[in-house]
Homo-oligomer: A and B are copies of this chain.
Amino acid sequence: MPGRLVECVPNVSEGRRQDVVDAIVGAVHAVDGVRVLHVHADPSHNRSVITLVGPAEAVGRAALALARAAVEHIDLRAHRGEHPRIGAVDVIPFVPIGETTMEECVALARRVGSELWQTLRVPVYFYAEAATAPHRVRLPDIRRGEFEGLAEKMAQPAWAPDVGDPRPHPTAGAVAVGARRPLVAYNVTLHTADVGVARAIARAVRESSGGLVHVQAMGVRAASGQAQVSINVLDAIRTPLYRVFDLVRLEADRHGVAVAASEIVGLVPLDVLVDVARAYLRLWTFERSQVLELRLVE
């Protein structure tokens, strides 16, 4: 697969009707050069997360095809689910992989957003790195009020969409299109059953209470019974995993607790692992192009 790669992780508001999920994923399969890496349909959220990857141009076409299928099959007026949402296709983030730059992903988000409005008449908010104003950077802010409050929200000048008329699509609402760094779901398991320790460590390492930027964390009990610090690293390039791990380890040590293991949930871009090897081995000059398998992709 040649060219500069982009990952795209669209979320659609359907996680129960398998035929609808299949139709939406099928629209991506029909686009040449794009691969579907993962589909996670969540019935309680009534929402599906599709992970796809390919060269930028093809991924853009796949995102549009997916959005078209979602708009066709999903009527938000009848949608119920635990996860907040504003649209049939709720959010479309583009993530740079390898040599691809964030600028390319922002440009792709803008292009796709513009076409979404032109072809499907769904108004678009640009978010994250593609945002046009600080109050539109975070998804929770864009989603506040949800589909049900969208008509009223869009009528406010501060919440006029970036592309399209300030009125929701009658059945498909609106869509947030953006560009962001790779997000990594990362758990660190402790040699203790005391969830209080995991909670204290979570507070110490997360952004919201004085820890590392780009880090969300909470203390939970893992299926094994061990206490676990459950973490989302929202930008695992700027705040690398080794820094998160080392800080968790130091804080655990303060409680006299050892780290048993850590785990990466789901897929991870190679650069996140390369950064780990680079830091611990002090491999300052290492380039990802030295990875043999990558010579076959890029």
Contacts and interface: CB of A to CB of B under 8 A. Distances in A.
A23 interface: no
A263 to B, nearest CB: 5
Assembly stoichiometry (copies): 2
Contact of A267 (B264, B284, B291): B291
B296 A35 contact: yes
A271 to B, nearest CB: 9
A35 B280 CA distance: 31
A242 B273 contact: no
Nearest to A295: B37
Interface stretch (A41-49, A80-88, A112-120, A254-262): A254-262
Contacts of A291: 267-270, 273
B273 A293 contact: no
Given A274-B273, A276-B277, A277-B273, A264 B293 contact: no
Is chain A's interface secondary structure helix, strand, loop, or mixed overall? mixed
Contacts of A269: 291-293
Given A291-B273, A293-B297, A294-B293, A283 B259 contact: no
Contact of A292 (B97, B290, B296): B97
A92 interface: no
Contact of A35 (B37, B281, B295): B295
A129 interface: no
Contact of A277 (B7, B260, B277, B292): B277
A273 B130 CA distance: 33
A292 to B, nearest CB: 5
A241 B35 contact: no
A198 to B, nearest CB: 16
Given A53-B296, A290-B268, A296-B53, A263 B277 contact: no
Contacts of A294: 270, 293
A285 interface: yes
A293 B5 contact: yes
A98 interface: yes
A157 interface: no
Given A242-B280, A267-B292, A270-B294, 4 more contacts: A37-B295, A261-B284, A264-B283, A267-B295
Interface of A: 1, 5, 7, 35, 37, 53, 97-98, 241-242, 245, 259-264, 266-270, 273-274, 276-277, 280-286, 290-297
